[in-house]
């Protein structure tokens, strides 16, 4: 951290940015590029990469000044995978050239990212993935395989990808991590229609996709280590996002409770109180988790937050449907669309109830996260595993 950068310095730099690039007369993209170049994108990143090498806590100083000036943001929900998963991984394992190439357009929102991790035969057991990357005589990697449950693949310019580069090694040790160009002719994106009627997710087929070795993140064969950075950040970004009191799923239920007294019963009253308290505890725990991030990378505690997020969303949305009775069963917009954003609170109760079922799968299944919390947070004995030292090619699939 740079001792020269404090709140006053961040405030000064922000006001200089606003004076040089007035939001009212500066184009949105131009303003965001200027903000990145001023080190006010993510202040804890290195100088020259959108930051000031300052404490992460000072980001809120810049954000407050910019919000007061009605400055545009980078639409973080639309580019959440890039911001929450790709960027910290590139920062941690990328070369200087990769950082300079990818971080600025990622943060500005010029390039959307997706995550090519899960496969039809390797969801919960991600390390069992079968997508192959074979190096040819030019030094490039040729990738063949299939990925599934890929959010934003239909919008993405780039993807973070893990593939098997050595089937003779045990499953965790024969994986490498790449940046994949989603515009390559060997990449085919197909929509996956969900129970909500829309196709927010995709399946992605990779056929002879050529990836230059310069787009590899980390050493060959150490992709699992690199992926852990992505996964830990993913779980924090899903379960630990900053929300106000009564933000998220609990807000619409509490609003209905206050405005529709005829719907109240003693049972739903008690359940709502319990869930309101649990939602507030989860919100405050998320604040503490973000404070811990100031000291370094997110740890396994993020898995606990993501667990709580999934359970609460499902219980709260279930209570909302029950509270509304027949009205709660209505679903006004069951149509096949390819959304850019998932809107949990701006839709009706039926949508929230159906969509929340995916919360316990996306970003790591709740069953896997329970194991992570048990072993890495609580220090309980690990589950017996008989495949840790077996070559991937010899595993039954």
User: May I ask the CATH architecture of the domain 228-377?
Assistant: Up-down Bundle (1.20)
First and final C-alpha spacing in the chain: 47
The residues carrying an active-site annotation are 234
The maximal CA–CA distance of the chain, rounded, in angstroms, is: 73
β-bridge partners, 135: 141
Contact call for residues 181 and 197 (beta carbons, < 8 A): no
Is CATH 2.40.110.10 correct for 82-221? Answer: yes
**CA proximity to 303, closest of 225, 230, 236, 383:** 236
Q: What is the CB-side half-sphere exposure of residue 279 using CA atoms within 13 A?
A: 24
274-308 burial, b at 16+ Cβ within 10 Å, e below that, comes to: ebbebbeebbebbeebbeebeeeebebbbbbbbbb
pTM comes to 0.87
Give the whole-angstrom CA distance, residue 317 versus residue 240: 19
Burial letters 77-94, b for 16+ CB under 10 A, else e: eebbbbbbbbbbbbbebb
Q: What is the pLDDT of residue 367?
A: 86
Are the C-beta atoms of residues 85 and 102 closer than 8 Å to each other? no
Q: How many helices (H) and strands (E) does the chain have?
A: 12, 8
Taking a C-beta distance cutoff of 8 angstroms, is the pair 104, 36 a contact? yes
Residue 2's pLDDT is 45
pLDDT of the chain, 397 residues: tens digit per residue: 445 799 999 999 999 999 999 999 999 999 999 999 999 999 999 999 999 999 988 999 999 999 999 999 999 988 999 998 999 999 999 999 999 999 999 999 999 999 999 999 887 789 999 999 999 999 999 999 999 999 999 999 999 999 999 999 999 999 999 999 999 999 999 999 888 888 888 999 999 999 999 999 999 999 999 999 898 777 666 655 667 888 888 999 999 999 999 999 999 999 999 999 999 998 888 777 766 665 555 667 777 888 888 999 999 999 999 999 888 888 776 667 777 666 666 678 888 898 898 888 877 788 888 888 888 888 899 888 888 889 999 988 7
Task: Please state the domain extents for the chain.
Answer: 7-68, 82-221, 228-377
Exposed, middle or buried by CB within 10 Å (0-12, 13-18, 19+), for 386? exposed
Q: What crossing angle do the helices spanning 7-20 and 28-37 adopt, rounded to 10°?
A: 140
- Residue 233 phi/psi, 5-degree rounding, is -70, -35
List the one residue out of 114, 111, 184, 191 whose CA is nearest residue 143.
184
């Amino acid at each position: 951290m740079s001792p020269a950068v404090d709140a006053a310095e961040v405030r000064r730099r922000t006001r200089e940015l606003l004076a040089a690039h007035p939001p009212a007369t500066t184009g949105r993209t131009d303003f965001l590029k200027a903000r990145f170049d001023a080190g006010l994108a993510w202040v804890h990143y290195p100088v020259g990469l959108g930051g000031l090498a300052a404490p992460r806590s000072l980001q809120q100083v810049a954000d407050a000044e910019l919000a007061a000036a009605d400055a545009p943001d980078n639409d973080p929900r639309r580019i959440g995978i890039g911001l929450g998963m790709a960027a910290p991984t590139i920062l941690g394992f990328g070369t200087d050239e990769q950082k300079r190439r990818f971080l600025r357009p990622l943060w500005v929102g010029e390039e959307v990212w997706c995550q090519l991790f899960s496969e039809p035969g390797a969801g919960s057991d991600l390390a069992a993935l079968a997508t192959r990357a074979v190096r040819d005589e030019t030094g490039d990697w040729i990738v063949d395989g299939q990925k599934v449950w890929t959010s934003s693949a239909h919008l993405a310019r780039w993807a973070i990808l893990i593939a098997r580069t050595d089937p003779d090694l045990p499953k965790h040790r024969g994986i490498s991590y790449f940046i994949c160009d989603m515009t390559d002719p060997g990449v085919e994106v197909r929509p996956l229609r969900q129970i909500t009627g829309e196709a927010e997710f995709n399946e992605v087929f990779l056929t002879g996709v050529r990836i230059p070795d310069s787009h590899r993140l980390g050493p060959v064969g150490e992709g699992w280590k690199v992926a852990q950075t992505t996964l830990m950040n993913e779980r924090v970004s899903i379960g630990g996002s900053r929300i106000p009191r009564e933000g998220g799923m609990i807000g619409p239920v509490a609003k209905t409770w206050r405005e529709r007294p005829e719907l109240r019963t003693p049972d739903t009253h008690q359940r709502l109180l319990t869930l309101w308290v649990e939602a507030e505890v989860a919100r405050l725990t998320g604040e503490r988790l973000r404070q811990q991030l100031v000291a370094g990378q997110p740890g396994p505690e993020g898995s606990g937050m993501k667990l709580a997020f999934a359970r609460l969303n499902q219980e709260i949305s279930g209570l909302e449907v029950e509270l509304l009775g027949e009205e709660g069963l209505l679903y006004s917009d069951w149509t096949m669309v390819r959304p850019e954003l998932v809107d949990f609170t701006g839709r009706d109760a039926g949508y929230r109830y159906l969509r929340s079922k995916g919360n316990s799968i996306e970003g790591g299944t709740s069953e896997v996260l329970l194991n992570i919390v048990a072993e890495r947070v609580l220090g309980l004995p690990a589950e017996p595993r008989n495949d840790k030292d077996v070559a991937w090619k010899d595993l039954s699939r």
